[in-house]
A and B are shown apart, each in its own frame.
Chain A
Amino acid sequence: ETGVTQSPTHLIKTRGQQVTLRCSSQSGHNTVSWYQQALGQGPQFIFQYYREEENGRGNFPPRFSGLQFPNYSSELNVNALELDDSALYLCASSLQSRRNTIYFGEGSWLTVV
């Protein structure tokens, strides 16, 4: 039990649609990161939010965007979905000051058809 919860757990979208995934961070954690894990691969860093501002971004296009709210919950939005966006999306919460406090949620499985 990591204290990080994600919703929805599974969803199916059509190419071209938009999707919003949600994450509730562990209490007290001020940093949230999002990762994409394609089948057979390791998680790939999408971006990170610290105190409601984007604080680092991986190699993902601008149609991947996010928000962090004052209560440290977070959203990942993906516009103009493509088939290759089908993956497990993982949210991780952490404390900026402590590098061994990165805890993951169980993920949201997105299938784009």
Chain B
Amino acid sequence: DQQVKQNSPSLSVQEGRISILNCDYTNSMFDYFLWYKKYPAEGPTFLISISSIKDKNEDGRFTVFLNKSAKHLSLHIVPSQPGDSAVYFCAASAGSAGTASKLTFGTGTRLQVTL
């Protein structure tokens, strides 16, 4: 049962344009969402997060949007740069203090930013 889904395995975007990566979830108990970026031979690197009490969070070129009613979130990267080429994972966690750092991950989207 895939509770976090990233339906696009890959995405190609031109440098300078916007990259939009999508993520859907099914578990209504999820209340905190994170995006990680992963290069080959490295561990996932935290990018940005959002709590379910918000619908948008912005950090520099990265913005995450959350639509709770649709159980959908998206990561926008503007402008896209060649160094953004990596695999992006969406992750979610559910509430209490004891479980807040147990993450459920999607399968990832490989972003390629072309010149």
Complex CA gap A7/B54 in Å reads: 38
Given contacts A96-B97, A103-B46, A106-B43, contact A48 B107 (CB under 8 A): no
Which A42-93 residues sit within 8 Å CB-CB of chain B? 42-45, 48, 50, 55-56, 58, 90, 92
Question: Do B45 and A2 touch (CB < 8 A)?
Answer: yes
Complex CA gap A50/B100 in Å reads: 12
Question: Do B102 and A48 touch (CB < 8 A)?
Answer: yes
Contacts of B99 in A (CB 8 A): 56
Number of A-B contacts (CB under 8 A): 71
Contacts of A40 in B (CB 8 A): 107
Question: Do A104 and B102 touch (CB < 8 A)?
Answer: no
Contacts of B45 in A (CB 8 A): 2, 104
Say yes or no: is A4 at the interface (Cβ < 8 Å to chain B): yes
Q: Contact residues of B with A, CB < 8 Å?
A: 4, 6, 32, 34, 36, 41-46, 49, 51, 89, 91, 93, 97-108
* Given A31-B101, A43-B44, A48-B102: 4 more A-B contacts, CB < 8 Å: A2-B43, A42-B106, A43-B103, A106-B43
